Amino acid sequence: MKIGIVGGSGLIGSFLAHSIIDKGDSVVIFSRKSSLPLSLRNKDRISLISAQIPLEDDLEALDVLINLAGEPIVGAKWTPERKEELRASRVDLTRAIFENLKKCQKLPSTYIAGSAIGFYGAYDEDQPECTETSPPGDDFLSALCVEWENASLEFKNLGLRTLVLRTGVVLTTKGGALAQMLPAFRTFVGGVVNPGTQILSWIHMEDLVSAILHLLYDDSLSGIFNLTSPNPVSNEIFSNELASVLHRPCIFRIPNFALEFIYGEGAVLVYKGQKVLPKRLEETNFRFKFPEIRPALEDLLKVSL
C-alpha cells in the first residue's frame, strides 16, 4: 500500500513512517520543507512531496491518507494570533484536503486524522473517567478539537473509512513532554507541578505507533479512538516515578504562576489534566506493551540514563 502522511515529518509521523515501511508498505510524507528530516532520509519506500496540502494527483495515488499536521500546541504563548494558527493548521488544512479529495477520480480507502484528549476539557480534581462517548469540555482546546474532528469526520461522506485519533501525552525521549521535562529532572530540580492531583493520560510512543497500525490494517475499524495507556496517573505519581527511574530526588513543587508566565493560557496543559481511558481500543483486543508508567519510563530511559 502507498500511505500518505501530512505532517509526517513531525515526532509521531517519523516513528510511524519507520514502522509502516517495516511492514513492507511505502510512505509519502507531505511537508512544507524541501527535504526530509535526517531520520527519514535515504530510506527505501519513504519519499517526500513538498506541499502543505496534497493535490488531486498526489491524493489519487494513495491507498491511505493520514493527517498529523498542526502547529505545536505547547511551546508558544496562546495569544489570539497563536490560537488562530493552531486552529488554521488543523481545521482549515483538513478542509482544504477535503476540497481537493472531492475533485479526485480515485479516492484513498482510508483517512486517519489526528486529534487530542484535550477534547475532554481540563481538570485539576474531581476528574471524570473519559471514554470515547464522553462529552467535550468547554475550553479553547476542547473547542479546537471539536472543530478539527468535525472537519475530519466529513471524510466519511466521501465514502472513506475514517478514524480519529484522540491522542494522549506521547512519551519518548526524542521530543514532546518527556523530553522537555528531562533536563530539569536530570539536574536535580525537577518536581511535581501543583496541585499534583491533575491526571496525566500518557502513552508510550511504541504503543501509540502499534495502535495506529492496528487501526490502519484492520478494515473493520472506524470512528473515534482514545490513544492512551489504560492506566493514567497523577502528576505527583508521574513526577516521583520519573525522578526515581533517573535516581534523582523529587522535592520541588512547581507553582502555576511560573507556568502561566511562560505559557499563558496554555499552562493548563500542565497544571490541569484529564483521565482518559482507551475503551474502544481495548474492545478491539489491542495489547499494550507498556500499560503501566514505571516500566514505560524504565524502557524509555534505559539507553539515556
Ligand X SMILES: NC(=O)c1ccc[n+]([C@@H]2O[C@H](COP(=O)([O-])OP(=O)(O)OC[C@H]3O[C@@H](n4cnc5c(N)ncnc54)[C@H](OP(=O)(O)O)[C@@H]3O)[C@@H](O)[C@H]2O)c1
Nearer to ligand X, 4 or 114 (CB): 114
- 167 in contact with ligand X (CB under 6 A): yes
Residues 17-36, mask of contacts with ligand X (x by CB under 6 A): --------------xxx---
- 100 in contact with ligand X (CB under 6 A): no
Q: How far apart are CA 89 and CA 105, in angstroms?
A: 26
Member of 3, 4, 9, 130 binding ligand X (CB under 6 A)? 9
Q: Is the peptide bond before 128 cis (omega within 30 degrees of 0)?
A: no
Member of 56, 60, 71, 282 binding ligand X (CB under 6 A)? 71
Nearer to ligand X, 52 or 252 (CB): 52
Nearer to ligand X, 32 or 253 (CB): 32
Q: How far apart are CA 6 and CA 67, in angstroms?
A: 5
Considering only residues 47 to 66 of the shown chain, the ones binding ligand X according to CB under 6 A are 52
- 70 in contact with ligand X (CB under 6 A): yes
Q: Which residues are CB-neighbours of 127 under 8 A, at least 6 positions away?
A: 198, 199, 273, 274, 275
- The cell for 126 is 474531581
User: In this chain, which residue has its C-beta nearest to ligand X?
Assistant: 10
Residues 80-99, mask of contacts with ligand X (x by CB under 6 A): ---------x---x------
Stretch that binds ligand X, among 131-139, 163-171, 253-261, 294-302 (CB under 6 A): 163-171
DSSP characters over 54-83: --HHHHHT-SEEEE-----SSSS---HHHH
Q: How far apart are CA 269 and CA 262, in angstroms?
A: 12
Q: 168: closest CA among 288, 76, 86? A: 288
Q: What are phi and psi of 47, to 5 degrees?
A: -125, 165
* Cβ 34 vs Cβ 57: under 8 Å: no
- 11 in contact with ligand X (CB under 6 A): yes
- 200 in contact with ligand X (CB under 6 A): no
Q: Which residues contribute to the site for ligand X (CB under 6 A)? A: 7, 9-13, 31-33, 52, 68-73, 89, 93, 114, 116, 167, 169-170, 176
